[in-house]
Amino acid sequence: MVDLKFVKEHVEEVKENIRNRFMDVDVDRVVTLYNKRNDMLRIIEETRQHRNENAKKMKGKLSPEEREPLVSEGKQLKEKIAELEEEFKILDGELQTLAKLIPNSSHPEAPVGKEEKDNLEIKRFKGPTQFDFKPKDHIELGDQLDLMDFETAAKVAGPKFYYLKNEAVLLELALVRYALDVLRRKAFTITITPDIAKEEVVEGIGFNPRGAESNIYTIEDTGTCLVGTAEITLGGYYSGSILPGESLPLRMGGLSHCFRREAGAAGQFSKGLYRVHQFTKVEMFVYTRPEDSEQAHQELLAIEEEIFQGLEIPYRVVDTCTGDLGAPAYRKYDLEAWMPGRGENGDWGEVTSTSNCTDYQSRRLGVRYKEEGKNQYVHMLNGTAIAVSRAIIALLENNQQADGSVTIPKALVPYTGFDVIRPGS
């Protein structure tokens, strides 16, 4: 949630940011409700003070004639306060509901646009992989190498689920351990998080846990959801806490399964492992001081690049446009790996992202830090270390050989125990 005082004092700036994100929020109504709420708080406080003064008067030695009007006034004030508090509850509820729709501010350098084509490419590592044969996509490779089974998974669990088999199982575990080892070297506290979170935590992070547009699976009659990312469980770790300033920055890594409805996701770019209902991911999360968050964001991006450079996978980095940021993000970078089997001639596909959410999530979750006697909201950042399903796509497609085999990057061989996957192996 944004700072409502900031919204009131920067109405036109907030409106422009909303337009740049191609969203629709009634900012004027938010400001009106905010002013009414503040006025009502003042009236409630004045009425309470009046009641306290009335109560003090009744403590003295009074005749029945003197006490009676004070008792009558005390009852009236009590009833009045109850009425005002009920009105305040309704007013504040409307304000909070509408204010939650206001997105975070956008970084001044974030490209303004609505679609992926509006993202700004800022760097590349290697170029598209060249072959002297027609490359296959990961679905065909997976079938020929007996690495995955989509048909049986659809029969058992439904579409967009999958079985990993044989070397692909060890490849997933290798990618997880490889990423976790990188994070340990970077002084992250590594965790395995719950795959379930309370709805209020999911909503606090910025995901919509309910409704047709939600990408989250809710668990009926429990008030909980399956997490779409460990960003939710890592961000909720310190909810409602005041952290000592000297503990910052806090760097956490979380391994979890991720569950996403992916409603309406279809087409050739969503096939196979690219867009699925369940996958394994190692997530990075940082709590930091506001003045350090931009540097922390660059550090998360550098770690993502280090991981994929170690895997020798061609990628590009894009600065995400305002219309594709999502409400919590102030700025977001995506790593897009080259995927030779994507489309007719290969294309870039997102494999990681990292976002600086500033204090948007910490305000919703109540995460602050104390320094020099003052409590301030922390800045919260997240980044993908490895999303295994998409990393497997990039590994298989870029490392395929003319004989149908797939070589394993040197960095992963100590984890897999093999350096090549061959047909029939």
Give the residue numbers marked as catalytic: 260, 275, 350, 353, 390
Place of tokens 């980095």: 317
Contacts 24+ apart (CB under 8 A), 220-225: 223/198, 223/199, 224/196, 224/197, 224/198, 224/199, 225/196, 225/197, 225/198, 225/199
Give residue for tokens 């984890």: 415
- Cβ atoms of 397 and 341 closer than 8 Å: yes
Place of tokens 């060890």: 170
DSSP H or E run through 198: strand 196-198
Is residue 290 within 8 Å of residue 368, measured between CB atoms? Answer: no
Rounded (10°) CA dihedral 15, 42, 1, 290: 100
20, 107 Cβ separation under 8 angstroms: no
Let me know: does 375 contact 243? Beta carbons within 8 Å: no
Q: How far is CA 365 from CA 88, 199, 282, in A?
A: 22, 12, 22
* Edge-to-edge strand list for the sheet holding 242-244: 242-244, 368-371, 374-377
| The two three-digit tokens of residue 364, written as one number | 């919703």
Which residues partner with 324 through β-bridges? none
Angle separating helix axes 167-185 and 293-310, nearest 10 degrees: 140
Rounded CA-CA distance 424/270 in Å is: 28
